[in-house]
Amino acid sequence: MKNGPDYKVDSREISGKNILMDKEKAKKEIERLRKEIEEHNYRYYVLAQPVISDYEFDQLMKRLQELEQQFPEFITPDSPTQRVGGEPLKEFATVTHEIPMLSLDNTYNYDELQEFDRRVRRVVSKPVYLVQQKIDGVAVALRYENYRFVLGATRGDGVHGDDITQNLRTINTIPLRLRKNLKGFEKFEVRGEVYLPRQEFVRLNEEREDEGQPVFANPRNAAAGTLKLLAPREVKKRKLECFIHTVPKPPAGYQRDSETIRALQELGFKVVPPSDLFDTIEGVIEFCDRWQNERYKLAYDVDGMVIKLDRYADREELGTTEKSPRWAVAFKYPPEEKETRVKRIFVNVGRLGTVTPVAELEPVFLSGTTVTHSTLHNMDEVERLDVREGDTVVVHKAGEIIPQILRVVKEKRPANARKFQMPERCPVCGTRLFKEADEVAWRCVNASCPAQLVARLVHFGSRQALDIEGLGEKLAEQLVRTGLVKNFADLYELTVEQLMELERMGKKSAEN
């Protein structure tokens, strides 16, 4: 019998004294696998520097699951296998926060930031400011005992929150067991923000739209709605992440927040970036100004910057009010909104037959890109906005990524503005559209509709599916229009010669 990766306990060989020996070997192997898996989780989700393939990781997880099934007495709450989510909950228990979760005072311009600095300097002669991104997510508190995650809660009213421990266990960036046993962190609490990455927000809304469900307005609402689900397995599917920003009661010996943050990184937490230090408010303002545009390049929503005193002694000097600390403030970026004109409203047919109204817009530069279209989701949304062709509208980007019409500027509505009517038939195949009584979406029920096939092919080739390089909307449309592809199986019968006959398809692209 081998030890190491190939080791497996054969229950038929276990008898008498050997039971203890075999169980001991299994326990050591389980512990080794857990440490290895958590290390790879940390490298993948926190550092974004994986060192093994997905297949190799899956094999490690499979091996651990097999051993835990064989020896269920060794299953512990901090095992990586317990991230998959447990049984559905009936309701959330209430948690009392040991230290109230206060909110921050908001500032919206640099004059207010300078006034904050003046108030600080009346008490602290040489303040040092720590500046972090203000993540637009859901505030949570995480408790650890014996270096293991034992409880997670929402902010609630600041004094009492919901126990969402089981949902938080599904988030890969929340360590179930800390990477190191640092002195002072045997029992402590951290606070942070749970958020939904922008691309996952897009995927989730596309999925909900296809299924005829209401879409989320922004990633924060999606994250909040997800954490309220009573089914942890459903939470796991949505790929939430978590940034940590605060230890409300720092361990003895730590004098600065910046020191504590470095310790949190050693322990395996994903800490809010960039945690830069400044000794003047002018440096803080310059930093905030730079990030106002840089934030659009991030994979998650940032709606401002948090400015707080770095030294704990200085914080003690300033104290807190009933609602917020006097030693910290949130600088909020103004939401970027632009006016543009609706040129026309048309419909798209999705892979499940969902027919979605889309507004074509006069091009407008918004949050780092030029916007030309905005989905209107469904007829309920069209009627709520009362948007018409020719209208002037105010647009922004939901989650800094999805163009969205916020409102119609009705005083600028032209006399010839035309109301949109959902067509009775599919604009592609002519099939009569159908709407379920309990859904908001209209559908084309013709499974052979070319538009649906194009959308299914694009999804089939996307990163969420088989990740086929080059299989985008334009190529999918050509494949369907020319009759080369009538189903997924036809993709595997295509020849280089057939592909080279398509528009903008050279030999190298066809061979790929």
pLDDT at 50 (0 to 100): 84
How far is it, in rounded angstroms, from Cα 42 to Cα 497?
Answer: 46
> Which residues are identified as catalytic?
134
The residues, any chain, with a CB within 8 Å of residue 21's CB and separated by 6 or more, are none
pLDDT (tens place) for every residue of the chain, 512 residues total: 333 334 343 433 333 344 444 888 989 999 999 999 999 988 887 887 888 887 888 889 889 999 998 999 999 888 988 886 556 678 899 999 999 999 999 998 999 999 999 999 999 999 999 999 999 999 999 999 999 999 999 999 899 999 999 999 999 999 999 999 999 999 999 999 999 999 999 899 888 887 778 888 889 999 999 999 999 999 999 999 999 999 999 999 999 999 999 999 999 999 999 889 999 999 999 999 999 989 988 999 999 999 999 999 999 999 998 889 999 999 999 878 899 999 999 999 988 899 999 999 999 988 778 899 999 999 999 999 999 999 999 999 876 678 999 999 999 999 999 999 999 999 999 999 999 888 888 999 998 898 888 888 877 777 666 667 667 777 777 877 777 777 767 777 777 777 777 766 655 555 55
The Cα–Cα gap between 47 and 42 comes to 7
pLDDT of residue 84: 66
Cis omega (within 30 of 0) on the bond before 100?
Answer: no
Among 301, 334, 331, residue whose Cα is nearest residue 400? 301
**Where does 11-76 sit in CATH, by number?**
1.10.287.610
> According to the model, what pLDDT value does residue 506 have?
54
Distance CA 383, CA 386 (A): 5
Residue 86, pLDDT score? 59
Closest CA to 40 of 53, 23, 25, 24: 53
> Is CATH 3.40.50.800 the classification given to domain 338-422?
no
Return the pLDDT at 512. 52
Q: How far apart are the first and last CA of the chain?
A: 46
Q: Where are the domains of the chain?
A: 11-76, 104-332, 338-422, 450-511
Class of domain 104-332: alpha beta
Tokens of 12: 């038929």
Q: Same CATH topology for 11-76 and 450-511? A: no
Per DSSP, 354 falls in state E
Q: What's the burial of 487, exposed, middle or buried (CB within 10 Å: 0-12/13-18/19+)? A: exposed
Q: Which residues contact 69 (CB under 8 A, 6 or more apart)?
A: none
Q: What's the CATH number for 450-511?
A: 1.10.150.20
